[in-house]
Amino acid sequence: MTSAPFGRALCAMITPFTEAGALDLDGAQRLADRLVSEGCDGLVLSGTTGESPTTTDAEKAALVTAVREAVGERASIVAGVGTADTRHTVELSLEAEKAGADGLLVVSPYYSRPPQDALEAHFGEIADACGLPLALYDIPGRTGTRIEPETMIRLAEHPRIVAVKDCAYDLLGTQKVMARTDLAYYAGCDEYVLAQYAIGGAGYISTVSNVTPSHFRSILHAFDAGDTAEAARLQQQACALIELMMASGLPGTVTAKALLNSLGLPAGPVRSPLRPADRETVDGLLAAYEELVSAS
């Protein structure tokens, strides 16, 4: 099996806030404990789903500390530290290490759209500065810049660059890198969980797992047991909820928090400029969630 340095079943955890908009550390601990108890062996904090652009540096570090306290050594903690500024990203990396993270999720610098040699230097500087292993976050739809396969292959030579959260929607490019490196590839798009795992992926970093952690873990269990038909059935069962949460025109943060709030689980509001989901959207999410749970 492919090496999975941070576990196989990872949740891109939302960041709970109080109704007043403050960081809800108690809620984060309760949510993290539930996710781990129901099948996650890793948690990614302060990623896209965790609203990293609108949380402060101090909040990011406090979140890592609180979740570490809640889950202990039952799960790995990967801290999102990527920014548009290399120096700032290095600072966040060092703070995450101090706070107790096991690894770092580092997205491509956004907006400035650096060329590939600059990207390579950016990731190399962060990996050199910190003692933690890195997962590169390739999501060109948000950053405007792809980490090209040849760049990935060169970066894989760094001993602390060990994994990729793959949201590039390029299965051919992914396979090219997987064939030529030891990078652990995590599906960052829920609809690709089984497909990428079947070709040698390490697992997933899932937004939808905020509400259905055990279901996505069961896909991996079925595949590992050799029951590929059951794995396919479970993946297909999740399609309706995946589509509503991830492809409805709303960010996954908004839909995940809407559903968690409706289920009485820690979430709270989103921070501006994001806006909460409307009632019709919430009703649709609940219906899809209940259908998935009843069918599982």
pLDDT in tens, 186-209: 999 999 999 999 999 999 999 999
CA distance 275 to 266: 17
Concerning whether 197 is annotated as a catalytic residue, the answer is no
Q: What is the pLDDT of residue 296?
A: 74
What pLDDT was estimated at residue 1?
59
How far is residue 279's CA from residue 18's CA, in Å, rounded to a whole number? 20
Catalytic site residue 165? Answer: yes
The predicted-structure confidence for 131-185, as pLDDT tens digits, reads as follows 999 999 999 999 999 999 999 999 999 999 999 999 999 999 999 999 999 999 9
**In sequence order, which residues have a C-beta less than 8 Å from that of residue 19 and are 6 or more positions away?**
268, 269
Output the six-digit token pair for 44: 């990614």
From residue 21, how far is each of 24, 55, 168, 169, 268 by CA, in Å? 8, 11, 32, 34, 8
Q: Where are the domains of the chain?
A: 9-225
Superfamily of domain 9-225: Aldolase class I (3.20.20.70)
For residue 256, what pLDDT is reported? 98
Q: Exactly one of 60, 98, 111, 137 is catalytic; which is it?
A: 137
User: Could you list the pLDDT tens digit for every one of the 296 residues in the chain?
Assistant: 568 999 999 999 999 999 999 999 999 999 999 999 999 999 999 999 999 999 999 999 999 999 999 999 999 999 999 999 999 999 999 999 999 999 999 999 999 999 999 999 999 999 999 999 999 999 999 999 999 999 999 999 999 999 999 999 999 999 999 999 999 999 999 999 999 999 999 999 999 999 999 999 999 999 999 999 999 999 999 999 999 999 989 999 999 999 999 999 999 999 999 999 999 999 999 999 999 999 87
Is 205 assigned to a binding site? yes
- Burial letters 232-259, b for 16+ CB under 10 A, else e: bebbebbeebbebbbeeebbbbbbbbbb
Give the active site residue among 60, 110, 111, 165.
Answer: 165
pLDDT at 136: 98
Say whether 55 counts as a known binding-site residue.
Answer: no
- The reported pLDDT for the residue numbered 295 is 86
Which helix (H) or strand (E) segment holds residue 107: the answer is strand 103-107
